[in-house]
A and B are shown apart, each in its own frame.
Chain A
Amino acid sequence: MTLDGNSSMPRSGFTDRILRRGPLEAIATMIIAAGVVMLMQPFFLMLYSWSFATTLFGTVMFTLVSKVRE
């Protein structure tokens, strides 16, 4: 027996908090934005070379996580 009044409430773990549509979409959005910035920046050719892979990864991730539960 416990005296904790909130023991009957479902406890949300780290993965429950992270593996939701909102945070995952935000991460995917940041990756897409980073890819676009890498594509257009005038400083490093290396970043430009990796921009397409980054944008593609972000876009695929966004498409997949939009199916994850809210």
Chain B
Amino acid sequence: MNDLSTSSQITYRAVLVEPGVVRRIRGLSDKSLAWLFITPTIVLLLAINIFPLVWTIYLSFTNYRANRPNAPTLWLGTDWYQSILTDPDIWAAMQVTAHFVIWTVVIETVLGFGLAFLIDKKFRGHGVWTTIILLPMMLSPAVVGNFWTFLYQPQIGLFNYLVAFVTGRSASSFQMLGDVTLSPWAIVIVDAWMWTPYVMLICLAGLRSIPDYIYEAAEVDRASNWRQFWSITLPMALPFIMLAVLFRGIENFKMFDMVNLLTGGGPGSTTEVASITLKRAAFESWRTGYSSAFAIILFVTVFGLANIYVKALNRVKSR
């Protein structure tokens, strides 16, 4: 009784201290409270995402250079866009990017789906194998870039010794990262090694979502394993495969860190993917306006692909 009266007094005093504030908070609707909670996030998002984007769009129409911030800024209209979209060097960088994107996506999808298909058959120790297979994707791209640089060393590299063992060529007779023909494939191999497990995970989710009764019905109809694969497994796992293809396509279109660590765009410009060209224009030539226009072109492409990705994701979710 005594405790109750004390707590009542405290409440009474709290109400007495700031009656206006309490009444105001009590008077908030659910919608207002929701806005109150999400406002800090929206402000943060505007500050670190939307503002830089709008600022980059503005800079892409000017001759601004970040190393001369006090120089007068001139409005150039769409000059940088026209310059980029008629530049054969940038076009070549896009083709290098295309080579990288297409081959990594094809290799990762084929290997990833194959591995998922094997892992889905529950054999002894499949849990351990799954963990071992997933290890590369848990590593940082910086770590992967560094240790593959050592693996590709012509004198001491394990990769060269392995190729020498299989083909009979001398290990030091070829350079994966220094050769014009081999270096585009060197970066494809590293990306495939690192990200095939990720594609495998997505495909495995697709395979596990196929109900067993469909296979049982197919067996009752005496469908062969081959027929079951083409008529049940592949069509039903296809939305998941599409998801993996789109995700890896978008990620590899933006690829920078690993390629920069492995080759830095060389030899010459044979592995100079779009993001490395962008970095060179922005932070080596200090053409900020030009690089902003280039960044917007890449952004629109990635945004367009992301729209398709979200559509594919919704289709998978609706299953």
Point out residues on A near B: beta carbons under 8 Å.
Answer: 25, 28-29, 32-33, 35-36, 39-42, 45, 48-49, 51-52, 55-56, 58-59, 62-63
Contacts and interface: CB of A to CB of B under 8 A. Distances in A.
Given A29-B311, A40-B94, A40-B97, A55 B88 contact: no
Interface in B291-307: 297, 300-301, 303-305, 307
Contacts of B311: 25, 29
Contact of A33 (B85, B97, B303, B308): B308
B81 to A, nearest CB: 7
B304 A35 contact: yes
Interface of B: 81, 85-86, 88, 91, 94-95, 97-98, 101, 297, 300-301, 303-305, 307-308, 311
A63 B307 contact: yes
Contacts of B97: 40
A60 to B, nearest CB: 9
Q: State the main secondary structure of chain B at its contact with A.
A: helix
A32 B94 contact: no
Contacts of A42: 95, 98
A3 to B, nearest CB: 41
Given A40-B98, A42-B95, A48 B304 contact: no
Contacts, number: 51
B85 A48 contact: yes
Given A45-B91, A55-B301, A56-B300, A32 B307 contact: yes
B45 to A, nearest CB: 18
Contact of A49 (B85, B300, B303): B85
A59 B300 contact: yes
Contacts of A49: 85-86
B299 to A, nearest CB: 10
Given A52-B85, A63-B307, A35 B301 contact: yes
Contacts of A58: 304
A39 B94 contact: yes
Contacts of A25: 311
